[in-house]
Amino acid sequence: MKIAAFLLILISCCAAGQTKKAACSAPEFRQFDFWVGDWDLSWPGQNGQPEQHGHNRIERELGDCVIHENFSDEANPPFQGTSLSVFNPKLGKWQQTWTDNQGAYLDFVGEFKDGQMALAREFTSDGKRVLQRMVYKNIKPDSLDWSWERSDNGGATWNVVWPIHYQRKRSATKDPISHVN
């Protein structure tokens, strides 16, 4: 009797583990695969400054359910940040949380649509509603463009605040990820 109960518990635990793994392997969980990898970054300097550079390492973690980003620029001292992104099946959308070494905490919600990933957030600044979004576009196996954008008119128009070009680092041990949604 005790052995039968133990086997029933063991089978239930194994089945539950398989269900969780299957949930994170649904096609929607692969929509951010284009971003996974090691990247060299470049963006225009501001106010006549030279082009700026940085690095970003994006990995799948926690049973391929979470996308983990580690960003650093080449300034002295460097601007560094990290984000966690997950697909939320209940919302049918991606959620991302960003934190950095300047004390920021930002949360975004968005989706992959028309060949682009767009994640947005809303906040209040000086009593006014402001929208911010990140757009991942021009996605190719070895490159993509990312832009930080702002709208002060409810999304009618968007201003690019920070455009970044991503170039995949070449690895002698790994082939670049060629999966693009």
Q: How confident is the model at residue 170 (pLDDT cuts 50, 70, 90)?
A: confident
Write the secondary structure of the chain as one string of H (helix), E (strand) and C (coil): CHHHHHHHHHHHHHHHHHHHHHHCCCHHHHCCHHHCEEEEEEECCCCCCCCEEEEEEEEEECCCCEEEEEEEECCCCCCEEEEEEEEECCCCEEEEEEEECCCCEEEEEEEEECCEEEEEEEEEECCEEEEEEEEEEEEECCEEEEEEEEECCCCCCCEEEEEEEEEECCCCCCCCCCCCC
pLDDT digits (tens, 9 = 90+) for 104-161: 999 999 999 999 999 999 999 899 999 999 999 999 999 999 999 999 999 999 999 9
Identify the structural domains of the chain with CATH numbers, from first to last.
2-168 (2.40.128.20)
Q: Is the pLDDT of residue 69 over 60?
A: yes
Q: Which pLDDT score, from 0 to 100, does residue 124 have?
A: 92
